[in-house]
Amino acid sequence: MINKKVNSVQDALQGIENGMTIMLGGFGLCGIPENSIAELVKKETNNLTCISNNAGVDDFGLGLLLHKRQIKKMISSYVGENAEFERQMLSGELDVELTPQGTLAEKCRAAQAGIPAFFTPAGYGTEVAEGKEVREFNGKMHVMELAYKADFAIVKAWKGDEAGNLIFKGTARNFNACMAGAGKITIAEVEELLPAGSLNPNEIHIPGIMVQRIFQGEKFEKRIEQRTVRKRN
């Protein structure tokens, strides 16, 4: 069986160069590839185009890359709790392409499936539709969206095996499953890396054919974007 395990995050990110387009999985701060992002900061890889649900927060997630001015263009669904992202966007320092969340997921999934384009009603009549082909289907207007093209897709999973099979946990499945296989090379960062054949086939979310490199992360902080608390009685 093919062994896709690499020994470190440094080995996993080999080939990522300045100016590339990278997909990064996760939903808000949930299920983001923390180790890979930290390594990109350390490598000082810059002029990046990043496709992600959001840009993290000021001092965590993709916010770390934004602070170092390593991101040239951000393709995401919303600004989130990130003042630096907002500042760079409003000042014109950062090229931002805000995309409806469902459209973002579908553009990733289209790339994963090898579908070049699709039509969606989301965004019709707004700035999102400017310059795009529009067609009517069943009396409703739809906008044509192109699949994303990424050099690398970096995803984070709960468990994986050395053959690249992945299992996600809870909300972390969002924007990870649809990005796996959607870039030319997919890198999986996992909490627990097991020998091939250890995972129950019925529980696998992404088959190993979608993954080229897999490694076990050393540390996961798993921050919460907004914590709502109440006093105990």
- The structural domains of the chain, with segments of one domain joined by +, span 9-115+149-216
Mean per-residue pLDDT of the chain: 93
Q: Identify the pLDDT of residue 13.
A: 97
> Is pLDDT at 224 greater than 80 in this prediction?
no
> Is pLDDT at 89 greater than 70 in this prediction?
yes
> Is pLDDT at 114 greater than 70 in this prediction?
yes
CA distances from 115 to 21, 132, 148, 166, 231 (A): 19, 17, 10, 23, 51
CB-based contact 76:56 (threshold 8 Å) = no
Q: Identify the pLDDT of residue 225.
A: 67
Q: Six-digit token pair at 197?
A: 């054949």
Higher pLDDT, 229 or 94: 94
Q: Identify the pLDDT of residue 91.
A: 92
Burial 83-118 (b: 16+ CB within 10 A, else e): ebbbebbeeeebebeebbbebbbbbbbbbbeeeeeb
Q: Identify the pLDDT of residue 171.
A: 84
Q: Identify the pLDDT of residue 233.
A: 76
Q: Identify the pLDDT of residue 83.
A: 85
> Is pLDDT at 1 greater than 80 in this prediction?
no
Average pLDDT over residues 167-190: 94
> With a threshold of 0.85, does the pTM exceed it?
yes
CATH topology of domain 9-115+149-216: Glutaconate Coenzyme A-transferase (3.40.1080)
Average pLDDT over residues 60-64: 89
CA distances from 167 to 12, 23, 138 (A): 19, 19, 38
CB-based contact 9:42 (threshold 8 Å) = no
Q: How confident is the model at residue 32 (pLDDT cuts 50, 70, 90)?
A: very high
Handedness of CA 32, 145, 148, 126 (dihedral sign): negative
Q: How confident is the model at residue 232 (pLDDT cuts 50, 70, 90)?
A: confident
- State the pairing for strand pair 21-24/48-51: parallel
Q: How confident is the model at residue 81 (pLDDT cuts 50, 70, 90)?
A: confident
Q: Identify the pLDDT of residue 99.
A: 93
